[in-house]
Amino acid sequence: MNILIAFQLGEVEVSNLTILILVFFSSFTFVAVGISSYKLYKSLINEDDN
């Protein structure tokens, strides 16, 4: 039983490992931008008298 099945994208074969790595980095970037945007929004709303 072969777990590493490759996807055929045109003439290029892409392995599951490559797709999983791309999904991981895309998800990590999405979460990082979300956290950064939330902190920026929170800092704009926060009213500190420093």
Measured CA to CA in angstroms, residue 43 lies from 3, 10, 23 at distances of: 47, 47, 30
Residue 15 in domain: yes
Number of compact structural domains in the chain: 1
Whether residue 50 lies inside any domain: the answer is no
Residue 30 domain flag: yes
23 is in which domain, residue-wise?
A: 6-45
Model pTM above 0.75: no
Say if residues 7 and 19 touch (Cβ distance below 8 Å): yes
Residue 26 covered by a domain: yes
CA dist 8 and 4 (Å) reads 13
Per-residue pLDDT tens over the stretch 7-47: 777 787 888 888 889 999 999 999 999 999 999 999 888 86
